[in-house]
Structure 1
Amino acid sequence: MTGNGDSLPTATIYQVAERAGVSIATVSRTFSDSSKVAPRTREAVLEAAHDLQYVPAAAARALAGRRTRALGAVLPHIDGHYYAQLLVGFEIAASELGLSVVLALASPDGVRSTAALDLLGRVDGVAFMAPSAADDAFVARVAAVRPTVTVARGTVEGADAIHAENRTPARELTAHLIDHGRRRIGFVGRPEPGSDIAGRHRGCLDALEAEGLSLVRLHEADPVEDAGREVAERILRGPLDLDALVCGNDELALAVVARLTEGGVRVPEDVAVTGWDDSLAARYITPGLTTVRQEVAELGALAARRLAARIDGDPALEPVTVGSRAVLRASCGCPRAA
């Protein structure tokens, strides 16, 4: 099902052509071989298609009379460890299958969302990675006409779904902090519905509720370094009412640790901090960062292999979950030798 339960839109190629001020042949060429369309015209068609929530029908691919031998990957960005590893795994698996990869950076705020539409004319199937790459309604429209796989986001009708395990490891990690005597625990991250970080947030709440505790504060932050530093700045400006922070990823956690330390807050003596991803830096900072290791590259590889199978005619399968495990280091209060 789509995220909001809305039915799929019924915009037609004629409406897109009228709105863009071009012929239906130009609209068709835009989605079958956009290199033959002038850049300004192409952008007008894509903008009209976006505004009308139009996705080209599967017939447009048949009219092109060929397969592209390419897989599409839609991500919100490729900054940081997580998305880089996801894309590396996807590209390696695609290469092993003799397929190329076309990347689109897109987000549902409309700023870059036409990039995903442009992608449809150049690939045989699409993998949408993370909720912020596109909203569920758009993904469902694409899944109705193209083989589609989603990674690290909620299930969408017609698309294969591949997830990492988040809730259980986050519950165990938070319980570990409680075992260290931490009772005033906050969470850093933006728990968007269906996202990995939402699962981590829920797991954190599970552990707190099991002990009769409540989350002291949710610091909503995008999973990037600058947002982590901003969270730490807010903590430094107020009274220190936390003794632990569960961060949605390592990038946030590393930035929080660095800025808190600069501000005179000791980690883990004053505030324990945990991350997620087991990035390279997590192993070498002092104190070492307690985190969760998940096979991000394998997530990307599974997505590529599953998408290729869907293109070859396999039906959609039940969601697949890839395991994760905690890696204990000193930032949570464990002995440094751990």
Structure 2
Amino acid sequence: MGSTQRGGHGATIYSVAERAGVSIASVSRVLQGSSAVSDATRAKVLAAVDELNYVPLGAARSLAVRQHEAHGLVLPELTGPYYAELLLGFETRAAELGQSVVLVLTEGKRDLARTLRQLATRVDGLAILGASSLPDAALRGVRGSKPVILIAGDAQPDVEAVGAENEGSARELTAHLFDHGRKRLLFVGDPDTAADVRDRYRGFVAAHRARRRKAAEPVRTAFREEDGAAFAQRVLDGEVEADALFCANDELALSVMHTLQDGGLDVPGDIAVVGWDDVMTARYVRPGLTTVRQPVRELGALVAERLHERVAGFPPKEGRQVLPTEVVLRSSCGCPPHPHLPSHPS
């Protein structure tokens, strides 16, 4: 089965050797990371691999005996609670299925296409979060040779997508802010960074249209704590005017709320703040953070299960599998504190 080492789009180790003008043994040594080749030979082989989108079948033996040894999980980074929950759900379900997990972080990687191809040689299938930030060549190079599932992305030909519902809950949460009498709403986060954030902004816009209002352009902010603090400072300085902030995730929302409060603004009296994810901290801050709960751990588990099924030979499911989300009302939007929820950190 693995004698010709066939890779993506019909490329083989022989065609790589022919394109590079070197022996098959030289190609093999380069792909195995051996130092027993010259820099010039290594450069020629890697250039041929890139041109042919070659992915060797490093897991051929496990496939032949129907034992799937490893799942590749590709994440942008590991900072923030979202990634930790997703990884926990994925790794736990993979372990239950007898699979190991090979984790790759794309942040700081210069050649993502090559990074994915190298990962594909070590695993039976790949699950990728943040595919919208990957170059097209990165996905093309692996999806023809290994099962690929996109997390929180859009389905593509022969590539399955799994995610959580975004647009409907975003529309509901935005409408709730209007119901509190808020008139100047801003969406904080960049819809171009990910399909799920794009859909949240679509829900934000849809809620405005339903009330014959025009939604403001999004405040294109990255999603880390320091980015939220920097944006909140602009509000405090009077550069940005709003009476409600719809933050694309809880990390942003909590940072924004903390900075606004330190600067003397009352939340929600002066300005309402809502988020997305329902991280644990959201229920312990004061005021409690109104947000949207999405089943991140369950999402990770579903991706691991579907990847296992794909490697076993099941075809990809059509469309996008979507897990439900739920608006969670606390008091940062203007609702009274719930008597059964904690009102202070414990």
TM-score (norm 2): 0.83
Call closer, same or farther: CA 1:43–1:330 in 2, change over 3 Å: farther
Confirm or deny: 8 A CA contact 1:128 1:139 kept in the other structure: no
Confirm or deny: 8 A CA contact 2:113 2:137 kept in the other structure: no
Aligned partner of 1:128 in structure 2 is 128
The amino acid across from 2:268 in the alignment is P
Aligned partner of 2:53 in structure 1 is 54
Aligned partner of 2:201 in structure 1 is 201
Matched residues in 1 for 2:246 and 2:49: separation? 38
Call closer, same or farther: CA 1:265–1:101 in 2, change over 3 Å: same
Aligned partner of 1:275 in structure 2 is 275
- Provide Cα deviations, 1:97-129, integer angstroms capped at 9, x if missing partner: 011000011159736554322211110111111
Aligned partner of 1:324 in structure 2 is 325
1:293-308 superposed matches below 5 A: 293-308=293-308
The amino acid across from 2:252 in the alignment is L
The amino acid across from 2:34 in the alignment is V
Alpha-carbon RMSD across the aligned residues, in angstroms, is 3.2
Aligned partner of 1:336 in structure 2 is 337
The amino acid across from 1:320 in the alignment is Q
Matched residues in 2 for 1:299 and 1:285: separation? 26
Shift of 1:185: 0.5
Is residue 2:239 matched to residue 1:253? no
Secondary structure in structure 2 of the residue aligned to 1:330: coil
The amino acid across from 1:236 in the alignment is L
Call closer, same or farther: CA 1:75–1:100 in 2, change over 3 Å: same
Confirm or deny: 8 A CA contact 1:283 1:289 kept in the other structure: yes
The amino acid across from 1:54 in the alignment is N
Confirm or deny: 8 A CA contact 1:208 1:215 kept in the other structure: yes
Confirm or deny: 8 A CA contact 2:90 2:304 kept in the other structure: yes
Call closer, same or farther: CA 1:139–1:218 in 2, change over 3 Å: same
Shift of 1:142: 1.4
Aligned partner of 1:287 in structure 2 is 287
- Provide Cα deviations, 1:53-94, integer angstroms capped at 9, x if missing partner: 724155x65489866610000111111111111111110000
Matched residues in 2 for 1:242 and 1:177: separation? 12
Confirm or deny: 8 A CA contact 2:112 2:135 kept in the other structure: no
Aligned partner of 1:225 in structure 2 is 225
Percent identity among equivalent residues? 44
**Deviates further, 146-155 or 136-145:** 136-145
The amino acid across from 2:300 in the alignment is G
Shift of 1:165: 0.2
Matched residues in 1 for 2:50 and 2:108: separation? 12
Matched residues in 2 for 1:74 and 1:302: separation? 15
Higher Rg of the two aligned structures: 2
Confirm or deny: 8 A CA contact 2:274 2:289 kept in the other structure: yes
Secondary structure in structure 2 of the residue aligned to 1:332: coil
Is residue 2:176 matched to residue 1:176? yes
Aligned partner of 1:310 in structure 2 is 310
- Provide Cα deviations, 1:147-203, integer angstroms capped at 9, x if missing partner: 111110111211111010000000000000011111111011111275211111111
- Provide Cα deviations, 1:7-63, integer angstroms capped at 9, x if missing partner: x989875786689897544444665xx4x63499799689647854724155x6548
Confirm or deny: 8 A CA contact 1:140 1:156 kept in the other structure: no
Is residue 2:34 matched to residue 1:37? yes
Secondary structure in structure 2 of the residue aligned to 1:219: coil
Q: Tell me, which stretches of 5 or more residues in structure 1 are unaligned?
A: 1-7
1:56-71 superposed matches below 5 A: 56=55, 61-62=59-60, 69-71=69-71
Secondary structure in structure 1 of the residue aligned to 2:91: helix
Secondary structure in structure 2 of the residue aligned to 1:199: helix
Secondary structure in structure 2 of the residue aligned to 1:153: coil
Matched residues in 2 for 1:324 and 1:179: separation? 21
Aligned partner of 2:3 in structure 1 is none
Matched residues in 1 for 2:285 and 2:208: separation? 28
Confirm or deny: 8 A CA contact 1:140 1:159 kept in the other structure: no
Matched residues in 1 for 2:15 and 2:139: separation? 21
Matched residues in 2 for 1:225 and 1:17: separation? 48
**Deviates further, 246-255 or 228-237:** 228-237
The amino acid across from 1:222 in the alignment is A
**Deviates further, 328-337 or 214-223:** 214-223
The amino acid across from 1:157 in the alignment is P
TM-score (norm 1): 0.85
Matched residues in 2 for 1:334 and 1:43: separation? 63
Shift of 1:137: 4.5
Call closer, same or farther: CA 1:64–1:173 in 2, change over 3 Å: closer
Call closer, same or farther: CA 1:128–1:50 in 2, change over 3 Å: farther
Matched residues in 2 for 1:208 and 1:154: separation? 25
Matched residues in 1 for 2:301 and 2:316: separation? 17
Q: Tell me, which stretches of 5 or more residues in structure 2 are unaligned?
A: 1-7, 340-346
